[in-house]
Amino acid sequence: MTHPSSDPRPVRLRAALDQVPGYKAGRPAPARTDLVTYKISSNENPFPPLPSVVAVVQDAVANINRYPDMTAAEMAHRMADTLGVDPDALAFGTGSVGLLGQLVQITCDAGDEVVFAWRSFEAYPILVALAGAVSVPVPNDAEGRHDLDAILAAITDRTRLLLLCTPNNPTGPALRTAEVEAFLRQVPSDVLVVLDEAYLEFVTAPDAPDAVALWRAHPNVAVLRSFSKAYGLAGLRVGYAIAHPEVAAALRKAAVPFGVSHLAQVAVVASLDAHAELQERVDSLVAERTRVLNAVTAIWPQVPDSQGNFVWLPLGERTAAFAAACEQAGLVVRAFDGDGVRASVAEPEANDRLVEVLQTFLAG
Ligand SMILES: *Cc1c(COP(=O)(O)O)cnc(C)c1O
């Protein structure tokens, strides 16, 4: 027998990995002596955690030698009451990104297709490729909206999953009720349609869909929500899906056992208790978004509407230059080279600075 180290062949990894794009996480803003810097690249909530949430998490630390409640019973019941759904219809995951991975796993064998609008959430093509499935990206229209007719036209015999992101990260617009209803009537009933509502709490458009009503009306619809953005719990990794019981049960089968920590579970319950306080924060972020969008559209009318806690600047070839100008001004934004820049709505000073940098950049 030869000694293993004399065998030069590398470990065999799945060929599917070659198709997996790397996830580019937002960098922390580098500290500077001349000005306060801001990371506005990950759509995080700029407010610190609520004191009541910090307190329950601190208490819960005393139990971290134990596994969490795998059924997340208290959190599940509180969420079910809040939403007016049966607890059977809920599945929790390590962030809604965790659930997105589970959704691909429960629907796709190798070679099956997942259709989504593009540009959209960067995690979609990564999770699809990791599962050995095939991404079918469908370009957004000129206003950064999903082209639902083109998405319908992209459905084939191999399509197992459709991902709709509303409001769309990073371009901003939310879907409209009438268009989604018409769309759902035409999707084959055996294809799962996911409405990714990570930014739901920031939506103010009057014609935005009621995803829970759509879920009730369509056995092939599931809704995805996150505690990372409006709730400000990004670091605790917890999100949920509202799905029909068979789909929710499949999602639970595909979950990392005990993935949602006890700290995350108590933080969610405490956040539901602090609803009014959180709502004030969301309202102030929405007011800031309106302020930023008004200032931006005054100098650049074509900028798309945003219903999330971010704005999209479709700068095309000038994307990298604008990101560099932001960096100079102490702002770390998310640049998608050759396409555009996404900037999170953050502290008023960061928002003011973003508008100033854009004004100077467009004038130059
Ligand atoms: C941020 C985000 C998520 C999920 O984030 P988690 O922190 O994993 O809950 C999901 N979808 C979209 C579109 C997002 O922008």
Determine the residue of 197, 228, 306, 311 to mutate for testing ligand 1's pocket, defined as the one with the most ligand atoms within 8 A of the Cβ atom.
228
Calpha distance 152→280 (Å, rounded): 39
Ligand 1 atom 11 nearest Cα: 198
200 ligand 1 Cβ < 6 A: no
Determine the atom of ligand 1 nearest the C-alpha atom of 94: 8
pLDDT of residue 6: 72
pLDDT of residue 7: 79
Ligand 1 centroid from CA 238, angstroms = 10
C-alpha 318 chain-centroid distance:
25
Backbone angles phi, psi at 315, to 5 degrees: -85, -5
Peptide bond into 119 cis (omega under 30): yes
C-alpha 311 chain-centroid distance:
14
pLDDT of residue 57: 98
Calpha distance 230→43 (Å, rounded): 9
C-alpha 323 chain-centroid distance:
22
307 ligand 1 Cβ < 6 A: no
Q: H/E element holding 99?
A: helix 95-107
37 ligand 1 Cβ < 6 A: no
pLDDT of residue 21: 85
201 ligand 1 Cβ < 6 A: no
pLDDT of residue 27: 77
Ligand 1 atom 4 nearest Cα: 96
97 ligand 1 Cβ < 6 A: yes
pLDDT of residue 2: 56
Sign of the CA dihedral with 361 first, then 304, 162, and 246 last: positive
DSSP string across 160-189: EEEEEESSPTTT-PPP-HHHHHHHHHHS-T
- Extract the residue ranges of the chain whose pLDDT is less than 70: 1-5
Calpha distance 165→179 (Å, rounded): 14
